[in-house]
């Protein structure tokens, strides 16, 4: 038996820029992450461009521009897990990819654990998205290495 449908390849490129914002609810300055996403779809002639300006750099994160391929973790034993907390978390990084960004869902472990897990697979950066869609962005903390 074959697959029910043809697999579609999408290439997602992310560019995160830094912008110093005024202050959050705790009266501390935070940095907005301006995220530009380019989605290359083989079924379309031109790429889809998305711009997101609701992200924040982590309080302990370097405030630098990053660019790279956006990758979510691959399924673990056939189960999709976007959290990045499991020690078996892996990413399928295409050959010759110099920079890539891990896309992880918030929850189940600390921001630090998520970042360290992605870094152990040579991620250039990590984007952690909220696990509840109505939540406002937070300035995460993740001290230490």
Asked whether residue 1 is domain-assigned, the answer is no
Among 140, 76, 74, 80, which Cα is nearest to 113's?
140
DSSP 73-141: PPPBTTB---S--STT----PPTT---EEEEEES-SS-HHHHHHHHHTTT-SEEEEE-SSTTPPP----
Cα 83–Cα 86–Cα 91 angle in degrees, nearest 5: 70
Per-residue confidence (pLDDT) for residue 9, from 0 to 100: 46
Q: What's 108's domain CATH number? A: 3.50.30.30
Q: Which two tokens stand for residue 95?
A: 């050959």
Domain count, the chain: 1
Predicted local distance difference test score (pLDDT) of residue 56:
73
Rg, Å, the chain Cα set: 16
105 lies in a domain?
A: yes
pTM over 0.85: no
Lowest mean pLDDT among 7-16, 26-35, 51-60, 63-72: 7-16
Rounded to a whole number of angstroms, the distance between the first and last alpha carbons of the chain is: 48
Q: Is residue 86 part of a domain?
A: yes
pLDDT band for position 49 (50/70/90)?
A: confident
Phi-psi region of 88 (alpha: psi -120 to 50; beta: other; left: phi over 0): alpha
Domain assignment present for residue 6? The answer is: no
Residue 137, domain member (yes or no): no
Q: Residue 108's CB: how many other CB atoms inside 10 A? A: 13
User: Closest Cα to residue 144, out of 118, 121, 111?
Assistant: 111
Give domain status of residue 33, yes or no. Answer: yes
Residue 80: inside a domain, yes or no?
yes
Q: Determine the Cα–Cα distance for residues 25 and 111; give it in Å rounded to an integer.
A: 20
**Mean pLDDT of the chain, nearest integer:** 77
Give the pLDDT score at 1.
36
Asked whether residue 140 is domain-assigned, the answer is: no
- Residues 56-109 pLDDT 10s: 767 777 777 888 888 899 999 999 999 999 999 999 999 999 999 898 998 999
Containing structural domain, residue 66? 11-129
């Amino acid at each position: 038996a074959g697959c029910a449908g043809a697999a579609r390849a999408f290439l997602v490129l992310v560019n995160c820029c830094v912008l110093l914002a005024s202050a959050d609810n705790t009266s501390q300055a935070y940095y907005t992450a301006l995220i530009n996403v380019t989605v290359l779809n083989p079924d379309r002639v031109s790429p889809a461009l998305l711009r997101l300006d609701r992200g924040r750099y982590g309080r302990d994160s370097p405030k630098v521009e990053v660019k790279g391929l956006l990758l979510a973790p691959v399924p673990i034993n056939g189960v999709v897990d976007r959290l990045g907390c499991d020690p078996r978390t892996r990413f399928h990084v295409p050959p010759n990819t110099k920079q890539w960004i891990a896309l992880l869902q918030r929850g189940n472990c600390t921001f630090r654990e998520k970042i360290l897990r992605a870094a152990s697979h040579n991620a250039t950066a990590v984007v952690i998205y909220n696990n509840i869609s109505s939540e406002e962005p937070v300035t995460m903390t993740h001290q230490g290495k």
